[in-house]
């Protein structure tokens, strides 16, 4: 242990969307200095190799319905280690404050007077969209985007990692019209309900949709369809977690890019 009693400190750290190189320099420094690393299921385990060989690595993963540690246990562990004078890194997929329960953890630390910091990460919407050639805003096409949880759809079960179903209901009727690009987290198991909600509230069946599985990783798969047809595609390709649903005309830019790249390649070839 590098710290005396009372010198404990917690860093709530975003690990980025999957590709381990997409972590920030600041986050990497925090991992290197940590005595204890509490990490989530969506964190690329390659990042743990940057920690000190003596650092304790504790898995806190939460798959839907299967929790290695409850949120209470994680917070207690974080607080206890900090009170022992340790440097604690609470490592979370994407950004800790986007469906990551980082806010709750910060509140728990603040309530105990434990010094902490929050180090942002690239959230999966940003990472996966970039890696799929989908600009979330695009001149003349999309002037706004929203990150939305799909786990609050009618009939939804509790969410996974991050958020566990305690957030307020999503206002699909407003989102259907007020936002140009919708990025839905934790929505794949609720795809049919989300699709129906949006169609029911007047979103056009022709609206382009992308499904992005394991964005920014070597296993990434991106598929495009329309709101009217997307549930069939999801079933056909057996889309699985972690995955995002991106809805809006900006999705078409992916196909434009692919077409231009093909044309350019054939001109060179
Ligand atoms: N804090 C995280 C989100 C945690 S909630 C962030 O900022 O990204 C978990 C949800 O995030 C998953 O259900 C999935 O919808 C999304 N997700 C996380 N990593 C992903 C990835 N590499 N590709 C696609 N979706 C991802």
What is the Å distance from ligand 1's center to 213 Cα? Answer: 9
**What are the structural domain ranges in the chain?**
9-122, 125-255
Protein residue whose Cα sits closest to atom 6 of ligand 1: 94
DSSP state of 142: B
What is the Å distance from ligand 1's center to 20 Cα? Answer: 14
Catalytic residue among 40, 95, 164, 180: 40
Q: Is the CB of 35 under 6 A from ligand 1?
A: no
Q: Is the CB of 207 under 6 A from ligand 1?
A: no
Task: Please check whether residue 124 is in contact with residue 18, taking contact to mean a CB–CB distance below 8 angstroms.
Answer: yes
Q: Encode pLDDT of 96-149 as tens digits.
A: 999 999 999 999 999 999 999 999 999 999 999 999 999 999 999 999 999 999
Range 9-122 has CATH code 1.10.3720.10: no
Mean pLDDT, rounded, of the chain: 92
- Does the annotation mark 267 as catalytic? no
Task: Please check whether residue 153 is in contact with residue 245, taking contact to mean a CB–CB distance below 8 angstroms.
Answer: no
Query: What is 125-255's CATH number?
Result: 3.30.950.10
Q: Which residues contact 152 (CB under 8 A, 6 or more apart)?
A: 165, 167, 168, 169, 170
Q: Encode pLDDT of 233-268 as tens digits.
A: 999 999 999 999 999 999 999 999 999 999 999 988
CB-count burial class (<10 Å; 0-12, 13-18, 19+) for 16: buried
Q: Encode pLDDT of 8-21 as tens digits.
A: 999 999 999 999 99
Helices marked H in the chain — which ranges?
Answer: 25-33, 71-83, 102-111, 124-131, 172-178, 191-200, 230-237, 252-268
Bridge partners (DSSP) of residue 14 are 92
Res 158 pLDDT > 50: no
Q: Is the CB of 99 under 6 A from ligand 1?
A: yes
Q: Is the CB of 160 under 6 A from ligand 1?
A: yes
246/238 Cα distance (integer angstroms)? 17
Of the pLDDT bands very low, low, confident and very high (cuts 50, 70, 90), residue 224 is very high
Query: What is the predicted pLDDT for the residue at 151?
Result: 86
Q: Is the CB of 124 under 6 A from ligand 1?
A: yes
Longest dimension (CA), the chain: 67
- Does the annotation mark 186 as catalytic? yes
212/223 Cα distance (integer angstroms)? 7
Res 215 pLDDT > 80: yes
3-state secondary structure of 129: helix
Of the pLDDT bands very low, low, confident and very high (cuts 50, 70, 90), residue 159 is very low
- Rounded to an integer, the average pLDDT of 185-193 is 96
Of the pLDDT bands very low, low, confident and very high (cuts 50, 70, 90), residue 4 is very low
Q: Which pair of tokens denotes residue 18?
A: 């999957």
Q: Is the CB of 16 under 6 A from ligand 1?
A: no
- Does the annotation mark 40 as catalytic? yes
**Ligand 1: which atom is nearest the Cα of residue 92?**
1
Greater model confidence, 51 or 65: 51
């Amino acid at each position: 242990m590098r710290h005396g009693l009372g010198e404990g400190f917690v860093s709530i750290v975003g690990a980025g969307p999957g590709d381990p190189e997409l972590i920030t320099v600041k986050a990497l420094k925090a991992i290197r200095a940590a005595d204890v690393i509490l990490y989530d299921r969506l964190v690329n385990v390659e990042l743990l190799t940057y920690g000190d060989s003596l650092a304790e690595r504790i898995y806190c993963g939460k798959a839907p319905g299967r929790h290695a540690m409850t949120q209470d246990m994680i917070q207690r562990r974080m607080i206890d280690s900090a009170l022992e004078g340790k440097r604690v890194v609470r490592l979370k997929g994407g950004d800790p404050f986007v469906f990551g329960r980082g806010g709750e953890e910060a509140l728990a630390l603040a309530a105990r007077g434990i010094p902490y910091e929050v180090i942002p990460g690239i959230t999966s919407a940003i990472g996966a969209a970039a890696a799929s050639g989908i600009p979330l805003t695009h001149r003349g096409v999309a002037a706004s985007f929203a990150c939305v949880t799909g786990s609050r759809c009618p009939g939804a079960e509790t969410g996974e990692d991050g958020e566990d179903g305690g957030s307020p209901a999503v206002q699909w009727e407003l989102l259907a019209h007020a936002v140009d690009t919708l990025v839905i987290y934790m929505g794949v198991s609720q795809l049919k309900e989300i699709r129906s909600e949006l169609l029911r509230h007047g979103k056009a069946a022709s609206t382009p949709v992308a499904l992005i599985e394991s964005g920014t990783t070597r296993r990434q798969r991106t598929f495009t369809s329309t709101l009217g047809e997307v549930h069939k595609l999801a079933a056909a390709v057996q889309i699985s977690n972690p995955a995002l649903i991106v809805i809006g005309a900006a999705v078409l830019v992916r196909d434009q890019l692919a077409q231009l790249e093909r044309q350019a390649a054939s001109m060179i070839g």
